[in-house]
Amino acid sequence: MDDDGLLPQRSFLRVIETGSLSAAAKALQTDVSTVSRRLAALEKRLGQKLVERGLRRSEPTEAGLRYFEGLRRLIDQQDALEAELRQEAETPRGLLRVAAPVSLGERHVAGWLHEFQSGYPRVAVELLLDDRFVDLRAAGVDVALRIGQLADSALTARRMGVMQLGLYASTDYLARRGRPEQPSDLDSHDFVLFSFLEAGDHLRLRHDDGRAAEVRMGSRFGVNSIDAILRVIAAGGGIHAGPLWRFEPAREAGEIERVLPGWQPPLYPLHALHGFGRRQPAKVSRWLDFLAVRVAELKGLV
């Protein structure tokens, strides 16, 4: 190792092992003068002559032989310890605490974590489900999944994708209140709002052909659970702008319908946040890579 602070000692060991300064220099990929200078500095610091230099061969003195035997054991122990620590740093281990929104966590992240753990038996996992933004440091969380725009933060954010949203309602509701044909028709409808993400009473829409519109979201029902919102709109409670990954399966099952399918609500980014910067523990870096693959498989993620 050229950067471990033990170059003089390693040069001395190599001289004794190879029998000459020139052979040691070749093994260390340096020149003879450098090896000689390191050896002289080591002898000066120890106050002992360690090597008898010859034209063809260099031999250890009595002090040099004693130093060689003790130093060899110490260097071998250090090398073994460093190799063990490097291997540990590269092997995922320990407790991985992950925070995720409730619906996404229950339906997907829990299964992903189980699959991830099966490949890394030295990792224990703990999943915290909360639609509110968790304080990672206070909660001891390693990685948090967050939906929506991020506030300025010292945390590191890895963008996992962007969630597409659609407008949904039940057949019963549309039969009672009328089926919107254009965005302005939404002004007279009831919306069910997700209270943690939606702010204000207006919704911007963009058509596949590039047209834009803004509609008023009249709401008499707000809730902080995506699954609860799905139950409310399936029961005829109103219209909701929800993520395709959660609402499309319900549409395909006949529970709800898509409203104004050519018009798209704003996209919501999905990020994985952590506080490790670039020097991430192996359990975190491997989980982030695994997570990116699984998130990309979700319906409505771009």
What pLDDT, on the 0 to 100 scale, is given for residue 1? 44
Contact 237, 221 (CB under 8 A): yes
| 254 shares a domain with 275 | no
CA distances from 29 to 14, 21, 24, 25, 51 (A): 12, 12, 8, 6, 21
Residue 48 lies in a domain: yes
| 154 shares a domain with 179 | no
| 143 shares a domain with 281 | yes
What pLDDT, on the 0 to 100 scale, is given for residue 154? 83
Residue 1 lies in a domain: no
Q: Which of 86, 93, 80, 98 is nearest to 146 (CA)?
A: 98
Q: Which of 272, 286, 265 is nearest to 161 (CA)?
A: 272
To 10 degrees, what angle do helices 62-90 and 7-18 make? 120
| 262 shares a domain with 178 | yes
Per residue in 192-235, pLDDT (tens digit) is 998 765 556 789 999 999 999 999 988 878 888 899 999 999 99
281 token code pair: 């523990």
CA distances from 105 to 16, 97, 128, 153, 246 (A): 61, 13, 8, 23, 12
| 234 shares a domain with 113 | no
Residue 157 lies in a domain: yes
Residue 145 lies in a domain: yes
Phi, psi of 210 (to 5 degrees): 100, -10
Residue 148 lies in a domain: yes
What pLDDT, on the 0 to 100 scale, is given for residue 220? 79
Interatomic CA distance for residues 93 and 226, integer angstroms: 33
| 200 shares a domain with 228 | yes
Taking residue 38's Cβ as centre, other Cβ atoms within 10 Å add up to: 21
Q: Which of 70, 90, 110 is the last residue of a domain?
A: 90
Strands lying side by side in the sheet with 263-264: 212-216, 202-207, 263-264
Interatomic CA distance for residues 240 and 192, integer angstroms: 5
| 146 shares a domain with 54 | no
pLDDT in tens, the chain (302 residues): 445 678 899 999 999 999 999 999 999 999 999 999 999 999 999 999 999 987 789 999 999 999 999 999 998 898 889 888 877 777 899 999 999 999 999 999 999 999 999 999 999 999 999 988 888 988 999 999 998 888 767 899 999 999 999 999 999 999 999 999 999 999 999 999 987 655 567 899 999 999 999 999 888 788 888 999 999 999 999 999 999 999 999 999 999 999 999 999 999 899 999 999 888 899 999 999 999 999 999 888 87
Residue 302 lies in a domain: no
| 282 shares a domain with 159 | yes
Q: Which of 38, 55, 90 is the last residue of a domain?
A: 90
Contact 68, 9 (CB under 8 A): no
Q: Which residue range forms the structural domain that includes residue 135?
A: 94-163+269-297
Residue 215 lies in a domain: yes
| 78 shares a domain with 124 | no
Residue 24 lies in a domain: yes
What pLDDT, on the 0 to 100 scale, is given for residue 149? 81
| 124 shares a domain with 69 | no
Count the domains in the chain: 3
| 261 shares a domain with 169 | yes
Contacts 24+ apart (CB under 8 A), 52-59: 53/21, 56/20, 57/19, 57/20, 58/15, 58/16, 58/19, 58/20, 58/21, 59/19
What pLDDT, on the 0 to 100 scale, is given for residue 152? 64
114 token code pair: 């189980």
| 255 shares a domain with 216 | yes
Here the CATH number for the domain that contains residue 246 is 3.40.190.290
Here the CATH number for the domain that contains residue 53 is 1.10.10.10
Here the CATH number for the domain that contains residue 291 is 3.40.190.10
